[in-house]
A and B are shown apart, each in its own frame.
Chain A
């Protein structure tokens, strides 16, 4: 469903991605790993359409459509959804209001009716339970005063409600204690489906103990230096990134 071909990306004139190739098929979970500064977060940000990233070469297609030609909201409406490493606070805007606006924007874009309020409430309450979140979360302002763990759970909650075709999760494990990570991992695992792709960006292998990926890619200096199955992540855990870096330099 997602095809990234020979992607070159610059930020402030500095090359970050240098010829990255990646294919994700429906039903697959891919993990992007790599040392700090390798460009892991850049990849998901470019796919989502964040400002400030200049694609100088290459292409990104999603279900045959040219992603780079699409507005940010169009990408989300097409089913590409990014879970943030640092979710943004929006004072005064209730969580539930954002959820509903997002869901209805996506439904409207697909030519569907807006969701009836009772159906929406039921959907949200179910998913809240899955994420072990209290209903009071819905009435709080988006991410305002949330702990790190609450913010991450909230990102997954949005995924569960919005049901994207490709879920991209940027360092969703950062700053989580082990209990919170389990909840988040359970949420992500419940997203796994035949018709859905998942892209995990993570620095640490430990998340992958809970979410076992189909493919693991090691990003070094702006391109994928090595790909493998879940076993590769375990090797990285044992040996660190240096050997991949050295091999790719050789």
Chain B
């Protein structure tokens, strides 16, 4: 098929592109210590939390943005961003869905978020974050019965200060990197999960993030703790409305797994990628890290990344506990002028630690994608093992795929395997399917889904279905 045809068909409209008109209680653009005090006060935080934020802010001021990623974007003016926005509701929080702004519910409806009874039927508790404030949390009682705490991070700071003091910032220190420091200073909300010893969380926990108010940066903060023998599966999904200004998103996610604990963290990310010239998309600079603190603990990251203009994201595992396991399964799709520099870090510290990395990158249009993965084996990580598989699929001839594997091996008993492939979506494959009567779009979707199968099968069932659908939407018209 001809390149011009592809060109023509690569254009697609962003299906989730609509803006809900809700009056926001928005802070004017700008960032200084007063901004941070305002946020902390607005959240009703204790003094020590404000100090924690200010400490992060002061460290951030001395830092510079990272420049090593294979990304190209203009410098971000942090003074042009508004750091607080919340739906205007005087009485803090609605007590039930009936009290929620109907427009907001409509928005969720359009996004197909199962918040109503659908959520109940699906057995999923939804902590919905609209702009920066958690609007509603369901299933709290059922979780409470099991002893699981699932609430917004703001609530957790007020209600469980000891847990916050004990764990916040212990996986991603405030000054870990430029964006993490910024997040630590100005984060507005996010989720908190605590699963006590021996408890398997009775349902999958899920949060839908959505960026709305114009020019508002989003700084989510998530902290998940599994005590010994505890287990949880957490789902995160994101979409955003179409708009013209670039939006910065710098989230921090920290996971802590103690002895024999298992945390499964799944993400389907579909933020606005910008128009065909790349204008208006989300900048996504995320720090996600899991700490396998206990022996035989296991942390698994699964992500399907289809959105954002720019993605800078490396969900990582620090394998401290003896025989602990870190996993990273990723599908990243870029189209149009999207840029993604993503991958993982597996830091082997403990003896007998194991890590698995399966990364599938799909580039279409004029997009550029890099896999960047670090496998580090420390001197005490005797018998550590890593397996990495990294496959890239190119659609058309104007996109790019790059692989940057880094390995730092600190002892001779480690076993490292790395496999990498790059292939073009075969015109032969397309012709083969089409000559059986299957339309080109269906054929592309079939071939791409086949390519991603290893990762999709790691996703919880309902997410897997969603992910396949999302991939089809994202690559709609990617080939012509």
Contact = CB atoms under 8 A, between A and B. Distances in A.
Given A84-B432, A92-B452, A105-B436, 8 more contacts: A50-B431, A72-B431, A87-B432, A89-B429, A91-B450, A98-B436, A98-B446, A102-B433
B442 A101 contact: yes
A92 B447 CA distance: 8
Contact of A92 (B436, B437, B442, B450): B450
Contacts of B431: 50-51, 72, 88
A49 to B, nearest CB: 7
A102 B437 contact: yes
Interface string A85-113: 00111111100011001100110010000
Contacts of B434: 49, 71-73, 76
B1 A92 contact: no
Interface residues of A, number: 30
Nearest to A91: B450
A47 B374 CA distance: 51
A141 interface: yes
Interface in B445-465: 446-447, 449-454
B435 A81 contact: yes
The binding surface of chain B is classed by DSSP as: helix
A32 B453 CA distance: 41
Interface string B419-439: 000000011110111111111
B440 interface: yes
5 contacts: A51-B427, A72-B434, A72-B440, A73-B435, A76-B434
Contacts of B1: 51
A82 interface: yes
Most buried by B among A50, A105, A158: A105
A92 B425 CA distance: 13
Given A87-B432, A88-B432, A106 B437 contact: yes
The 5 closest A-B pairs by CB, nearest first: A92-B450, A93-B450, A76-B437, A102-B436, A92-B453
A162 B433 CA distance: 13
Interface string B44-75: 00000000000000000000000000000000
B8 to A, nearest CB: 15
A162 B432 contact: no
Contacts of B426: 88
A202 interface: no
A105 B437 contact: yes
Contact of A88 (B428, B439, B449, B450): B428
A109 B437 contact: yes
B447 A90 contact: yes
